[in-house]
């Protein structure tokens, strides 16, 4: 008999149709999605996912962080389940595939197992992690972080969005605060399919990225305080311009990242200027620095250099600098056994593949702390993501889901 499930393939058309169906919920203004976590759109997407899972014969569990767990029984009910999934929440100007491909790719595995009437020994659980993006409520991967014991549940509940709304209140409001204690579930393994969100796979002509490691991340929220005053009548030498502090630190961030090449990045994506009036010198600017690199020593050095230099730069122009870490994780190394299952699957299926380090953060980075974990990636057009123009091909989606299918089923054990 050929290797377990040698010829297993998912139904690429059905996967693609589901992606397009989900993309109709929380549409963006330029063809992508704005389905931010704990919004009504998120609730609508969750309901559609639950409907599909139940139609596929699965039972849904939900924990206190709104993490969704759709379970397909195995022949051995005592065997720890193999988990597979990602996130349905999007950036405000997000694409249709970031996160969603991993959740619906997991659902497609179940649909295909049902079609083929294949039983597995271990149960399989398809997962939607709440608030992976961290854009409305920092930090990113918040709920997989609570699940992995990185964050306390009540600390997560107290996170607030730009409008002052609490995570815990919004989770209740949309009706997705579940009864299960977060983190109680034990996993045999966890697999995540995700688009690369970078240009490497496409440039190398590969369909599959086997993710061996990830970058570590430091999100440093900075507050520069100056003095609001009239942009017309305040002499230049008397100004305390918080906006200049932002400009100088933006340059410092870039300098530090460039000094740490190769494989280091830095930028400022979130900026709030107060009072943000055309004819008032900014009295305060709040912004978040995003530093990343696969090298922990470099990462710690980059953050330390920023914290050492920024106060002096600000003092020189008469403004104050304050900062706090609002998100962090160290560079993850994924489980060799799970990585091997993905690599073997890509080989067996004849897909061009390469090992790759994940540039973006993912729920797998935290779940890797509590269960054997690995990720498989497919390319995205021009490496573009966190942009409504994010695009992949149906073939890439199918290739990624096929590899995921083989690795998950092999790990769950096919029952003849």
Footprint of ligand HGY (CB under 6 A): 132-134, 140, 360-361
- The rounded distance, in Å, linking the Cα atoms of 129 and 143 is 6
45 binds, among Mn ion, ligand HGY, none (CB under 5 to 8 A by kind): none
Q: Report the residue count for the chain.
A: 416
User: What residues form DSSP beta bridges with 373?
Assistant: 190
66 binds, among Mn ion, ligand HGY, none (CB under 5 to 8 A by kind): none
Report in angstroms how near the CB of residue 215 gets to ligand HGY at its nearest.
Answer: 8
99 binds, among Mn ion, ligand HGY, none (CB under 5 to 8 A by kind): Mn ion
* Strands annotated E in 169-231: 189-195, 208-214, 216-225
140 binds, among ligand HGY, Mn ion, none (CB under 5 to 8 A by kind): ligand HGY
- The rounded distance, in Å, linking the Cα atoms of 302 and 289 is 11
Taking the CA atoms of residue 38, residue 21, residue 98 and residue 289 in that order, the dihedral angle to the nearest 10 degrees is -40
Of the two residues 87 and 177, which places its CB atom closer to ligand HGY in the complex?
87
Q: Is 327 in the site for Mn ion (CB under 5 A)?
A: no
Contact track, Mn ion, 238-277, x by CB under 5 A = ----------------------------------------
* Cα separations in angstroms, 55 against 75, 99, 261, 383: 20, 22, 49, 34
Question: What single DSSP character describes residue 332?
Answer: P
Of the two residues 64 and 132, which places its CB atom closer to ligand HGY in the complex?
132
Could you write out the DSSP letters of every residue in 66-87? --EEEEE--S-TTSPPEEEEE-
Of the two residues 87 and 239, which places its CB atom closer to Mn ion in the complex?
87
41 binds, among Mn ion, ligand HGY, none (CB under 5 to 8 A by kind): none
Is there a contact between 355 and 210 (Cβ–Cβ < 8 Å)? yes
Query: Using the rule CB under 5 A, which residue among 28, 99, 294, 400 binds Mn ion?
Result: 99
Q: Site size for Mn ion, by CB under 5 A? A: 2
134 binds, among ligand HGY, Mn ion, none (CB under 5 to 8 A by kind): ligand HGY
- The rounded distance, in Å, linking the Cα atoms of 145 and 133 is 12
Binding residues vs Mn ion (CB under 5 A): 98-99
């Amino acid at each position: 008999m050929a290797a377990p499930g040698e010829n297993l393939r998912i139904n690429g058309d059905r996967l693609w149709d589901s992606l397009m169906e989900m993309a109709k919920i929380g549409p963006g203004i330029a063809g992508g999605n704005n389905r931010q976590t704990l919004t009504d759109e998120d609730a609508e997407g969750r309901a559609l996912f639950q409907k599909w899972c139940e139609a596929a014969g699965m039972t849904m569990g939900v924990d206190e962080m709104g993490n969704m767990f759709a379970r397909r029984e195995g022949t051995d009910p005592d065997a720890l389940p193999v988990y597979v999934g990602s996130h349905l929440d999007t950036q405000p100007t997000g694409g249709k595939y970031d996160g969603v491909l991993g959740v619906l790719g997991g659902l497609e595995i179940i649909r295909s197992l049902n079609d083929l009437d294949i039983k597995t020994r271990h149960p399989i659980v398809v997962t939607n992690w709440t608030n992976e993006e961290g854009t409305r409520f920092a930090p990113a991967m918040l709920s997989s972080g609570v699940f992995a014991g990185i964050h306390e549940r009540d600390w997560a509940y107290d996170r607030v969005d730009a409008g002052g709304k609490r995570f815990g209140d919004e989770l209740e409001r949309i009706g997705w605060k579940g009864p299960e204690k977060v983190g109680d579930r034990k996993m045999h393994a966890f697999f995540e399919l995700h688009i690369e969100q970078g240009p490497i796979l496409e440039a190398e002509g590969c369909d599959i990225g086997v993710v061996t490691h990830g970058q570590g991340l430091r999100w440093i929220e900075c507050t520069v305080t100056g003095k609001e005053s009239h942009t017309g009548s305040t002499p230049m030498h008397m100004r305390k311009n918080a906006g200049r502090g932002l400009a100088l630190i933006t340059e410092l961030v870039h300098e530090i990242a460039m000094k740490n090449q190769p494989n280091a990045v830095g930028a400022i994506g979130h900026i709030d200027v107060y009072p943000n009036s055309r004819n008032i010198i900014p009295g305060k600017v709040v912004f978040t620095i995003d530093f990343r690199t696969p090298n922990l020593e470099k990462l710690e050095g980059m953050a330390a250099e920023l914290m050492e230099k920024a106060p002096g730069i600000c003092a020189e122009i008469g403004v104050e600098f304050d900062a706090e870490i609002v998100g962090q994780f160290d560079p993850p190394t994924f489980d060799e056994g799970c990585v091997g299952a993905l690599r073997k699957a890509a080989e067996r299926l004849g897909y061009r593949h390469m090992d790759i380090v994940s540039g973006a953060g993912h729920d797998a980075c935290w779940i890797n702390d509590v269960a054997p974990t690995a990720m498989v990636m497919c390319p995205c057009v021009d490496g573009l993501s966190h942009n409504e123009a994010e695009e992949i091909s149906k073939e890439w989606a199918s290739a990624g889901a096929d590899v995921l299918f083989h690795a998950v089923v092999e790990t769950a054990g096919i029952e003849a």
